[in-house]
């Protein structure tokens, strides 16, 4: 995903930003609900996207897209610079950032645990709605 973040930042700089950064994200989650040892719901979600922050003058522009394609990353960078340029029409005090090296990082969170007596596939079907028990 470094290449997508790089493409987004390069597009923002090419569009006139003096500074830009980007964050590419993929997120997956699972949740389950059980009552009295019976599985009642099981949900899986995933999302992905890239967000860009650009600086022109003393004004920031932000733009994000729910797409991890190179074209979408470049579009997000360009649009972030456009938003910053529009914001710069009402300029604030001059802004100077201290020179810092670029930071590249990843973060992961792995959760491990026991479902106890509830096993996947037991109880109610996770894909269907059920009336509440009385």
Taking the domains of the chain in order of start, what are their residue ranges? 2-90
Instruction: Strand 59-65: give its sheet, edge to edge.
Output: 19-35, 38-56, 59-65
Residue 114: its pLDDT value, please?
A: 57
Q: Is the pTM of this model over 0.75?
A: no
- CB-based contact 53:116 (threshold 8 Å): no
**Which of the residues in the chain have pLDDT under 50?**
121-134
Residues 22-36: b if buried by 16+ CB within 10 A, e if exposed: bebeeeeeeeeebee
DSSP tag of 110:
-
CB-CB neighbours of 104 under 10 Å: 9
CATH topology of domain 2-90: PmbA/TldD fold (3.30.2290)
């Amino acid at each position: 995903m470094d290449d997508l973040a790089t493409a987004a930042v390069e597009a923002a700089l090419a569009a006139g930003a003096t500074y830009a950064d980007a964050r590419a994200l993929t997120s997956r989650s699972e949740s389950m609900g059980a009552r009295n040892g019976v599985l009642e719901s099981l949900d899986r979600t995933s999302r992905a996207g890239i967000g860009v922050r650009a600086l022109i003058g003393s004004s920031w522009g932000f733009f994000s897209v729910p797409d991890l394609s190179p074209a979408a990353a470049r579009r997000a960078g360009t649009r972030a610079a456009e938003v910053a340029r529009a914001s710069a029409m009402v300029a604030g005090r001059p802004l100077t950032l201290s020179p810092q090296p670029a930071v590249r990082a990843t973060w992961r969170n792995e959760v491990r645990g026991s479902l106890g007596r509830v096993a996947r596939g037991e109880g109610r079907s996770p894909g269907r709605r059920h009336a509440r028990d009385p």
